[in-house]
Structure 1
Amino acid sequence: MNEADALGIVHSAIWTILVAAGPAVAAAMLIGILVALFQALTQIQEVTLTFVPKIVAVLVVAAVTGSFMGAQIMAFTEEIYGRIASGF
């Protein structure tokens, strides 16, 4: 294993993390922006108001895209196991 192999594995791992976590993070960001806009328009400054909608949105998105996230992680795992089996 040389530096190029190690950098390829790290690149693949980071890309897998970004793709797998992307939908949940995007949903949390969208809900956060909408709640912040709602708070700014109504001048309600309740701190706990931001957490519940974000948690619900992330759980719903994780339930809907769970198979996609699992497939991405499984593909990365198979790639790594294949490289281990072939000696990199």
Structure 2
Amino acid sequence: MSETEVVEFGREAVWVMLKMSLPVLFVALFVGLIISLFQAVTQLQEMTLTFVPKVIIISLTLIATAPYMSQTLGTFTEQIMDRIVSLG
């Protein structure tokens, strides 16, 4: 395996990781922003007010995006297996 193939593999691995994590991260960012605005307006500084909604909404996001994530990871795994077979 040449150096360029290793770099290409690493680039693709980072891209797959970003594609799988960004939906959850954007939802967490949006929910955190909304909750922070709510806390600033009402001056409620309760820790459970930030934690519980984030956990619930992130869990729902993970459930909703699970098919996309599994398809993305499956496609990447198939590509890696094809490359391994072609090396032999």
TM-score, normalised on structure 2? Answer: 0.93
In structure 2, what is the equivalent of residue 70 of structure 1?
Answer: 70
Question: Could you list the runs of 5+ residues in structure 1 that have no partner in the other structure?
Answer: none
Alignment-derived partner of residue 86 in structure 1? 86
Between the two proteins, the alignment pairs up a number of residues equal to 88
Q: Which moves more between the two structures, 73-82 or 41-50?
A: 41-50
Structure 2, unmatched stretches of 5+, are none
Distance 1:51 1:11 in 2: 34
Match of 2:10 in 1: 10
What is the alpha-carbon distance in structure 2 between the residues aligned to residue 68 and residue 35 of structure 1? 27
Q: Percent identity?
A: 36
Match of 1:40 in 2: 40
Q: C-alpha distance in 1, partners of 2:27/2:2?
A: 38
RCO greater where, 1 or 2, for CA within 8 Å and sep 6 or more? Answer: 1
